[in-house]
Amino acid sequence: MTNRPLAIGARLKQFEQINTIGLKPNFSDYPQHIQKQIKAAKKIFYPTAFYADLFNAMGKQTFPSFHTYKFAVDKIKQSAAFQMSDIPHPQTRVFYGENQKTEILNSFDFPFIAKIPRGSAKGCGVFLIRTPEDLAQFLVIKGPAYIQEYLPIDRDMRIIIIGKKIRLAYWRIAAENNFKTNISQGGAISFDPLPQKALDLALVTAQKCQWDDVGIDIIEHENKFYVLEGNMKYGTKGFKAAGIDYKKLLLDLVLNEEI
How confident is the model over 34-67, as pLDDT tens digits?
999 999 999 999 999 999 999 999 999 999 999 9
Task: Give the residue-averaged pLDDT of 86-108.
Answer: 97
Q: How confident is the prediction for the chain on average, in pLDDT?
A: 94
Task: Answer for the pair 235, 184: CB distance below 8 angstroms, yes or no.
Answer: yes
Q: Name the domain count of the chain.
A: 3
Q: Give domain status of residue 83, yes or no.
A: no
Both 136 and 192 in one domain: the answer is no
- pLDDT at position 118 is 82
What is the CB-side half-sphere exposure of residue 122 using CA atoms within 13 A?
8
- Percent of the chain at pLDDT > 90 equals 90
Q: Is residue 140 part of a domain?
A: yes
Residue where a domain stops, chosen among 63, 78, 111: 63
Same domain, residue pair 191 and 245? yes
What pLDDT, on a 0 to 100 scale, did the predictor assign at position 254? Answer: 98
Q: Coil, strand or helix: which one is 116? A: coil
1 in a domain, yes or no?
Answer: no
pLDDT reported for residue 122:
63
- Residues in contact with 99: Cβ distance below 8 Å, sequence separation at least 6, in sequence order: none
Q: Average pLDDT for residues 231-243, to the nearest whole number? A: 96
Contacts of 195-204 with CB under 8 Å at 24 or more apart are: 195/220, 195/225, 197/225, 198/157, 198/159, 198/225, 199/159, 199/166, 199/169, 201/87, 201/88, 201/225, 201/227, 202/157, 202/159, 202/161, 202/166, 202/169, 202/227, 203/161, 203/164, 203/166, 204/87
Task: Please check whether residues 27 and 109 belong to one and the same domain.
Answer: no
Count of positions (residues) in the chain: 259
Judgement on whether residues 251 and 161 belong to the same structural domain of the protein: yes
Same domain? 187 vs 241: yes
In angstroms, the CA 32 to CA 10 distance is 21
Which tens digit of pLDDT belongs to each residue from 11-34?
999 999 999 999 999 999 999 999
Handedness of CA 169, 171, 175, 180 (dihedral sign): positive
Same domain? For 114 and 100 the reply is yes
Q: Is residue 68, in this structure, part of any structural domain at all?
A: no
Task: Provide the 8-state DSSP code for 180.
Answer: -
Question: Which domain, by its residues, includes 117?
Answer: 91-149
